[in-house]
Amino acid sequence: MNPDRIKLIAVPVVLAALAAAPLALGTGYWLGLATTTLMFACLAQAWNLLGGYGGQFSYGHALFFGTGAYVTAVLQVRLGLDPWTGLIAGTIAGGAIGAFCGALSFRYGLKGSYFALVTLAFAEVFRILATSVPFTGGGAGILIPLKVSPANFQFADKAGFYYAMLILFAVSLIVTLAVERSRFGAYLVAVRENEAAAAALGIDIFRVKLGAITLSGALAALSGVFYAQFFLYLDPHIAYGSGVSVEALLAPIIGGIGTLFGPLIGAIVMRALGEVANVWTDGAPGLNLALFGLLLIIVLRFLPDGIVGLIGRLGRRHA
């Protein structure tokens, strides 16, 4: 069976398995963990679209995550809009910020490390802005009032949040699959592999990269919106801090960069490892993240295609 067809079958199978997961996880702590895992998987999926398929490594995806989170929070708290409108507005805002940041960076030909640094700087600018302007609540952060109702994107039980997040993750997964199978996707990968050759084949490199960063920004904003609704609290460091940017890139690289399921697998492995570290150290902070850093270096050293690549290699050996 060709790989295209396998993926078409695998996507609904994986989504169905995720939908059935609460049966095994119960309704307590583990379901909450699964929910945040999917949230980070969605963020990772967004990063992967630009970094994995497009080869443009962003070190500032917090920019989009934070924008999605703040837009929905501010619209609710300051203007009294409902969070579903906030979801749409936040996603559009994430895409718009992506387009803005991309238009500047790619117009002036920033690549590789320079692009990485400029995205990092954009996220920092927004972090400082969010600390300084009054309507975000500044450094003290912003609280979304508790009003439990599905119409208010607040659910009475954890399962409600889990399924809401699963739908958002499904959107990111299906968008990625659609990109993989489209002309845009073929062009994006071509740009990653060789820009000169891509241009000679009629590809407008600027437009392709701009499309990728816009889409990636919008998807990352989705997970940011969910964060705001799930935790009902935001501050500039949570939303725009470098921690989010690092999470966004670790999962796809560990899981398998430029692959459909890499971000999900990476997010699951990282959360599981983090959980082990938590139990081990009795919840003391630091060790879990240190392990992620170690895992990143091990993957770079030994598994250039991440865990997905390792699975593929083992599969071929046994075949």
Partner 1 sequence: MTASLLVPALVNGLTTGAIYALVALGLTLIYGVLHIINFAHGSLLMVALYGVYFLNTGLGIDPYLALPIAVPAFFILGYFLQRGVIEHTAHGRDQNILLVTLGLSIILDNLALYFWRSDTRTIDVPYGFDVIDIGVALIPVPRAVAFGAALGIAALLWFLIGRTDLGRAIRAVARERQGARLMGIDVEHIYGLCFGIGTATLAAAACLLLPSFYVTPQVGHAFVLVAFTTVVLGGMGSFTGALVGGLILGLVESAGGLILGESLGQIGIFIIFILVLLFRPTGLFGGKPA
Partner 2 sequence: MLEVANVSKRFGGLLAVDGASLKVAEGSIAGLIGPNGAGKTTLFSMIAGAVPPTAGEISFAGQRIDGLKSHEVCHRGIGRTFQITQPFAGLSVRENIAVGAHLHHRRRADALAAAAEVAKLVGMAGLLDRPAASLTVAGRKRLELARALATRPRLLLLDEVMAGLNPTEIGEIIGVIRGIRDSGVTVLLTEHVMQAVMSLCEHIHVLNQGRVIAAGAPSLLVTDPKVVEAYLGRAAAGRIEAGSRHAS
Q: Which stretches of the chain bind partner 2, using CB under 8 A?
A: 181-183, 185-187, 189-190, 192-194, 196-205
Q: Is 196 in the site for partner 1 (CB under 8 A)?
A: no
Residue 138 or 141 with smaller CB distance to partner 1: 138
- Tokens 């009475």 correspond to 156
Residue 10 or 289 with smaller CB distance to partner 1: 289
Q: Is 281 in the site for partner 1 (CB under 8 A)?
A: yes
Q: How far is the CB of 243 from partner 1 (least distance, A)?
A: 10
**26, 293, 313, 314: which one contacts partner 1 (CB under 8 A)?**
293
**Dist. CA 151–CA 128, nearest whole Å:** 33
Which residues in the 48-87 window bind partner 1 by CB under 8 A? 57, 59
Q: How far is the CB of 207 from partner 2 (least distance, A)?
A: 9
Computed on alpha carbons and rounded to an integer, the radius of gyration of the chain in Å comes to 19
Burial classification of residue 241, based on how many CB atoms lie within 10 Å of its CB (0-12 exposed, 13-18 middle, 19 or more buried): middle
SS (H, E, C) the chain: CCHHHHHHHHHHHHHHHHHHHHHHHCCCHHHHHHHHHHHHHHHHHHHHHHHHHCCCCCCCCHHHHHHHHHHHHHHHHHHCCCHHHHHHHHHHHHHHHHHHHHHHHHHCCCCHHHHHHHHHHHHHHHHHHHHHCHHHCHHHCEECCCCCEHHHCECCCHHHHHHHHHHHHHHHHHHHHHHHCCHHHHHHHHHHHCHHHHHHCCCCHHHHHHHHHHHHHHHHHHHHHHHHHHHCEECHHHHHCHHHHHHHHHHHHHHCCCCCCHHHHHHHHHHHHHHHHHHHHCCCCCHHHHHHHHHHHHHHHHCCCHHHHHHHHHHHHHC
The tokens for 253 are 């690289």
Q: Which does 104 bind (CB under 5 to 8 A by kind): partner 1, partner 2, none?
A: partner 1
Q: Is 26 in the site for partner 1 (CB under 8 A)?
A: no
x/- mask, partner 1, residues 154-193, rule CB under 8 A, reads ----------------------------------------
Q: Is 122 in the site for partner 1 (CB under 8 A)?
A: yes
Q: How far is the CB of 192 from partner 2 (least distance, A)?
A: 8
Residue 155 or 184 with smaller CB distance to partner 2: 184
**159, 232, 289, 311: which one contacts partner 1 (CB under 8 A)?**
289
Q: Is 276 in the site for partner 1 (CB under 8 A)?
A: no
Residue 201 or 297 with smaller CB distance to partner 2: 201
**118, 165, 175, 238: which one contacts partner 1 (CB under 8 A)?**
118
Q: Is 273 in the site for partner 1 (CB under 8 A)?
A: no
Q: Is 286 in the site for partner 1 (CB under 8 A)?
A: yes
Tell me the site size for partner 1, rule CB under 8 A. 43
Q: How far is the CB of 270 from partner 2 (least distance, A)?
A: 25
Q: State the residues that interact with partner 1 by CB under 8 A.
A: 57, 59, 104-105, 108, 110, 112-114, 116-118, 120-122, 124-125, 128-129, 131-132, 138-139, 242, 246, 249, 253, 281, 284-290, 292-294, 296-297, 300-301, 304
